[in-house]
Amino acid sequence: MRDLPPYLLALHLSLPIWIAQLPLTAAHDKARLLELLLLVALPLLSRKPLRWPAPTWLLALLLAWSAAACAMSDQPTIALRECALLFGLAVMALTVSEWSSEQMLLLGRLMCWVGVLYGLVFGMTVAIAGYVEGQIYPFALVFGFDNPRHLAHTQTVLIPVAIGVAASTCSSRVQALGWAAAMLAIAVASFLCSRATLLSIGLSFASLALLMRRPAWRYLRWATTAAGVGASLGFGLLLLFGIDLVAQAGSTESGSARLELWRAALDDASQSLFGVGPMHFSRMQRGDAAHPHNAYLQVAAEFGWPAALALVFCVVWALISMARRLRQNAVGTHGVWGMALWTALIAISIDATLSGNLVMPQSQVWVFVTMGFALGWYRGTNHAPTTESATRWLWMRWLVVAPMAVLLMVSAWEYAQPLTHFIESKSRHFPNPEKVYPRFWRDGWL
């Protein structure tokens, strides 16, 4: 029973391998439903009380601001769904932070198994497609998702964590598992030319090297070999199929599209103090995207500039605090695991400026699990006695179960309805351009 939550999370993290075999809706919708199911089940399986890592008044302010943003939106009930989901993910991260180090390392190894299996399945698909058709169609290689880079955000998390698993153990089998998971993830990201992922990973490794210097070598030697082999494999396959790497790297089409989305987000942020409302960036047609591909600007657009500035402050403060603690605890397995988590947080923060890693259902779970890992590691390095009362937060776990259960039932009902009032992902067509259509969460429209 104690190890059931890590296995449950690992099963959910393995969605890309088996999600296409499930009946009913599109892959994205199934991922969202299963995410909600996870957020219902995980609190019920955990018995420890939660510890909120900030003053109580800050939680009250956060909830009050979110409620005001929902009330000011065009469709408050739709906005409340987004807030309920984010609250559920935060409770999941707090739940994971209370796990023992053995449970965290178990889930880390299971994440590596997921990465290896996905990399092997992806490689087999590439080989079969290349042999049968003589060419590769990246949009057909992601098992039902409508974007070949959709799963790259999970690789942004997996690569640093997998290297941490390899570097923090003396077992040759576990080392091989972690290295293989990181190498295959880098190979897949390179083959799909996931520039945001590769940039985030590269900058996060460089940041660790500058922060820790000599103590980081134990971690970085695994990182450099995995990156070298993985990138060579991924880019080598592209060259084998006649892809022009220079043209791929120099393409500005996605960059221009992002600039337009960022301008739209800035316009929305100027509408009011609370923005246009959670999940309301997509209330009007904006090309082929329903989120601005920048988490910070999305918060500004949907919650207002004060919320966005608070988010940036919290991210910077958390990274600096963990960096200080890491420099004080850089020795041994615990220190290497901390390096992996800090590197993952840096990569997530950078990736959030260029993508939707905090929007997609699959990557949301990976990101918030990693946040829970990092919070648990940080607390584990605090040897001073704490006066924090955990029992008063028992209600937080149970409070999230009810809205997640309602949200799950409502979403399942909506996904069973015909597409009469939702956006269709394949045609990107609005049935009625004059009506407000906040995203939630039909046919991969994000």
CA torsion 302-305-306-309 (nearest 10°) is: 110
In this prediction, residue 177 carries a pLDDT of: 96
Question: pLDDT tens digits, residue range 362-411?
Answer: 889 999 999 999 999 999 887 554 544 444 456 666 777 778 888 778 77
- pLDDT tens digits for range 238-292: 888 777 777 666 666 677 888 888 999 999 999 899 999 998 887 777 766 778 8
Quick one: tokens of 189?
């990201």
pLDDT, tens digit, 9 for 90 and up, residues 72-121: 988 888 788 889 889 889 989 998 998 888 899 899 999 999 999 988 88
State the average pLDDT for the chain.
Answer: 82
Using one digit for the tens of pLDDT, what is the confidence trace for 291-348? Answer: 888 999 999 999 999 999 999 999 999 999 999 999 998 888 889 999 999 999 999 9
- Range 140-145 average pLDDT: 57
* Residue 118 tokens, joined: 């996905």
To which residue do tokens 């290295």 refer?
179
Instruction: Report the candidate in 156, 145, 75 with the shortest Cα–Cα distance to residue 445.
Output: 145
Average pLDDT over residues 39-50: 81
Mean pLDDT to the nearest integer, 124-147: 67
Q: String of b and e for 159-182 (b: at least 16 CB within 10 Å)?
A: bbbbbbbbbbbeeeebbebbbbbb
Identify the top-confidence range among 151-155, 191-195, 396-400, 417-421: 191-195
How do residues 411-441 score in pLDDT, each as one tens digit?
777 666 655 444 433 334 444 544 444 454 4
| 161/238: higher pLDDT | 161
Segment 17-42 mean pLDDT: 76
- pLDDT tens digits for range 200-215: 999 999 999 999 989 9
- Compute the C-alpha angle 335/337/339, nearest 5°: 70
Average pLDDT over residues 115-141: 76
CA 210 distance to own-chain centroid: 25
User: Which of the two residues, 29 and 36, has the higher pLDDT score?
Assistant: 36
Q: What pLDDT is recorded for position 361? A: 84
HSE at residue 185, side-chain half, CA atoms within 13 A, is: 30
From the list 142, 173, 145, 174, the residue with the least C-alpha distance to 161 is: 174
Measured CA to CA, the distance from residue 220 to residue 391 in angstroms comes to 40
